[in-house]
Structure 1
Amino acid sequence: MARQSAQNVGEAFAHAMATWEAGNIAEARRLARRIVDSAPEFGGAHYLLGVIALGQDQARKAAEHLSRAVAADPAQPVPRLALARALEAQNSLHAAILQYRAVLAAAPMHVEAGARLAELLGRTGKIDEAVDLCRRTIAASPHHAEALFTLGTLLHRQGNDAEAARHLEQALALRPDWVAALHNYALVLRSLGQAERAVAILGGALDLCRDHAGSRANLAGALRDLGRLDEARIQAERATRLNPRDPAGWLELGLIRDRLGIPEGAAAAFERAVTAAPQSAEAHWCLAEARRALGQPARAATLYRRCLELDPDDRHGAALGLAQVTAAPPPERAPGAYVRQLFDDYAGTFDAALVDKLGYRAPAVLAEALGRVLGGRTGLAVLDAGCGTGLAAAVLRPLAARLDGIDLSPAMVDKARQRHLYDRLDVGELVQALAGRAGGYDLVAAADVLVYFGELAPVMAAAHSALRDGGLFAFTVERADDCASYVLGAKNRYAHAVEHIRDRAAAAGFDVAVMEPAVTRREAGADVPGLVVVLRKI
C-alpha cells in the first residue's frame, strides 16, 4: 500500500479510534493495522493496537506496540501509561515503575500514574515512598478510589490500622463492590481486633465472588480469631481447592489444624504452603515451628536457616527458633524486626489478651515499688520505655510533670496516643532512643520490656545516660533461678538471673534500690516468676 499523507493518516486514525470506542474491536484492529502498513512510524496506530491487545490479555504484544508508540512521541503521557500497564501485566514491575515515573515527570499531577506507581513501589518494598506518593495523589484527587485503596493497604503493612481503615472505607464508599478492597478492609479489621465485623465484610465479598480463594482464606483466619475452628477449617479447605497455588489457604489451614491439636496435619499444610511459595519466609517459619513441635529439631533448624536467608531482618524470629532447637546460641536480644512485627500484629487485641487472659500487672507492680522509693515525690520527667498501648500510663502520669513514651511498634504507639495521657510519643528503638536523650529524665520505666533483651549491658548504659543524677530506672523482668546470666524461654522471652542484673547495674553506674520477687503475668494458668527492680543513678 502506498504511504498515506499525514492528513490522510490522521483521518484514518480518528476513524479507527471512533470504531474502537464504539466497541467494534475487530474492525478497529483491522483499521489500525492498515495504518501501520502504510505509515509504520505513526505512533497512534501502535497505541491503538497496544491497548486492544492489553484488553485481550496479550500483554507481550501490547508492550511491543506501545513501546513503538512511546518511541514515536516520548513526550506523550498516554502511551507511556498504557505501556506501564502492559509491563505490569507481564510482571515486569521495575520497568513499569520507570514508565510511571516518566509519566509523572511530564505530568506531576497525573493521579492515575501516581496511584499505580505507589502500588508498585509498595509491592517492591519501598513502603515509605509509596505512602508519601499516595498522600500527594489523594491531595490532588481526594476521591481517587485506587489511591485510597493503595494507601489503606500500605498503612496496614506499616501497622497503622486505624488510619488504614479510614482510607479503605472511603475507597469502598466509592466502589462498594470492590472485592479486593473488601478483602483488605477485613484484614485491617482483624488487626484491630474486630473479627466479627471482618467475618461480615468477607461474607459480602464472597457474595460478589464466591470463588475468590484469598477471601476464603481471610474468612478462615477471621473465624480462627473467634475460636470458630470447625467453620474456619471448612473455609480454609475451600480456599485450597479453589487455588492450590495460593499459599494463604494452606497457611490458614495449617494454623487451624495446629489449634485443633493436629500437628502432623498442620505440618502437611505448611509443606504445601512452602511448595506454593518457595520464597515465602512466613511459610518456612510456620513449617519450622511445626517441625519443632513434632520433635524434629534438625528439620526445623534447616527451615529456620532458610527463613533467615529469605528475610535477613528476621521479622519472624528465626534466630530465636534456631536457639530453641539448640542449633545456635541465643542472640543477645530479640531481633528488632521480630519485636516490631509481633506487636504490630498484636496491637488490636493486646490489652484484652494481656490483662484479661494473662493477668498482666507489671504497671501495678512497678507503681508499688516506685511509691516506696519516691516517698510521694511527683513532678518528674518520666519516660515510659517500650510503652506499648500505654497500659503503664495511668500509674506513671500522677508522678509526671512530663510523660513521654517510646515503642518500636507504630501500631502500639497509635493505640497509646488514643489514651491522651502522654505529652510526647515516638516510634523508635529503645537503646538508641535512650542514648539520644542524655540527662533528659528523672525516671525511666520499662514494664515487661526487658524480656526481649538477653544481655542487659547496652540497655543499662543507655538508661544511665538518659537519666539525671539520682534518677531511677525501674523495670520488671522474668526470673531465671538456674543460671548466672539469662535464658531464652519457650515463648521467645528472656529470663534473667539476679546476679546478671546486679553485675550489669553496677557496671553501668547504678545502685540497687529495690530488687525483689514479683509476679507480673500468668502463662497456662500458672504464675510466671519475675522480679521488680528499681535502680538509682550514682
Structure 2
Amino acid sequence: MSLHISPPSPPDLIDTLGVWRARFPRFAEMMDAGESPVKALRYLGLGLWQEGDVTGAVAALTTAASLTPEDAHLLADLGAVLWLDGRKADALQCFIASLERDPSRVQVWLTVASLCNEIGETATAEHSYLAALDLDPACAEAATGLGLICLESRRYDEAVTLLRGALDRGVATPGLYACYGQTLYLIGEFAAARAALEQAAVALPEEAAIVRKYALAACVETALEASPEEAFAAYRRGAGLHAEEDARIGRTVFRALCGFGHKEAAIRFGEALLRAAPDDQIIPFHLDALRGTPRDRASPAYIAACFDLYAPDFDRHLTETLGYRLPETLQPLLAETARSFPRILDLGCGTGLAAPMLAGFGAQIVGVDLSPRMLEKARERGLYAQLVEQDAQAFLADCDERFDLVVALDLLIYLGDLSALFDGVAAHLAPGGVFAFSFETGTGADYTLDPAGRFTHDPAYIETLSQKDFVPLVSRATTIRIEANQPVDGRLVLLRRRETL
C-alpha cells in the first residue's frame, strides 16, 4: 500500500513553518537552534499529543510526514494520532505504510492488529498477529490476540494452543483464564476447563457470567463420574449467589454429555432429569437415542417442545456457535437452475433463517413449522405470505396447493422413514418444480437415530426414494454444522419433479 502525503510547494512550506513558529515558541527555539524542520515538527506533534491537542498533533505530524514520507517511525506516530482523532482508515494506511518501510517493528504489527479488530478487519488482524509472532515468538500479546480470533472463528484447537501459550508467557489475567477455560469447555475438556475457569472466578467473584461458566464446567466434570445429585451440588457450590435454576442447568449439562459422546453419564443424568420432570417431552426421545431404541421419527410433541424452548436464542446459537450456513450454501445452487419460483414452500421454516435468501427467488413464501415460538420469530421477518403451525408431513397430507419450490433445510434429521415426505412433496410440486433439502449422511442402514438425537440417512436410500418421482439436479457434500468441535457431514440435494407422476 502506498501512502500519498503531498509535500507543500516551497512558498507554502515557508508559510506553514512561519505559522508553526509563531504559534509554538518551543518549535521556534528548535528551529533557531538549527534542528531540521522534520525533527522539530515531530517533537512538536508528540508534545501536542501528550497535552491532549490531537488536532494540533495531526497537523504537525502530517506536515513532517509530507517532508519525509519514507520515515517509518514518523508514519507510525502519525497513524497513532489519526486513530486517536477517530480517522481509523487513514490511521491504518499510515501504519501499513510504516510497516512497508520497516517490517521489523513488533509493536506496530500489534497496533495494526488492535485497530483491525476494532474496525472488523479480522483477516488483517490475524495476519498482523502472526507477523508479530514471527518476529518475537515469545510475544504474549500476539498469542493472546490470535487465540481470541481463533476462538471467535470456532477454531478451538488452535485457540487452546495459543491461549495456553499466552498463559505460559506470563499473561495470567482473569480474562485470559476465562477465555481459555471457555475454549476448553467447547472442545469437551471439562476438567481442564473447570480448573482454568476457577482461576478466573476466584479473581472475579462478582462477574456472574464467569462464575456460572466455572460452576457449569464443575457440574459436567462431576456428572461424568458421580451421581447427578453430586453434579448439581458441585454447580451450586461453584455458582453461589449466581446460581441459575436446576432445570436450565440440567438441560445444558445433558446436552454437553450427549454431544461429546459420554453415553453412560448422559443416560444416568437424563434419567434423573426425567424423574424430576416426568412430563418432559424432550428427554425421553434423547434417552431412546442414547439407548439405541428404534424410532422412525421424532414426535411432533418433542419437536414443538424442543424448539419452543430454544426459540429466543436459536438464531445466534445456530449461526454463531454451530456455524450453520445452509441457506447461504443453497443460494448459488438455486441460482444455477436459472429460474424463478413464484410459489415457495419452506418446510420446517423455524425462525425463517432461509427466508431472506428464498425471497430473492419467489414472490410468495409459505412457511410451516411445529413450534409457535419459532413461528413468532419468522413472522417478525415480514417475508412470509403465510405461516402454518403444523407438522410438515401432516401439512402435505392436508394441503391442496402446488408449489414451484419446496425447501426442507435441517428437517430430515427429525425424520427416519422419508417415504411419506417424498410422496407428499412430489404431490404438491408443480411439474418441473424443484425439491431442495439437506440431510446428515450415514452408512449401512437406510436411516439411523444417532446418540445426539438426530437421524442420519444413507445416500443410497435418498437416491432410491428420489428415483420414482424426481430427476436429480445437484447433490453436494457440505458441513451441516459444527457439533462438539467436529464438523457434521451432510449433503445438499436438488431434485426436479418429473413432468408426469
Structure 1 length normalisation: TM-score? 0.46
Bigger Rg, structure 1 or 2: 2
TM (norm. structure 2) is: 0.49
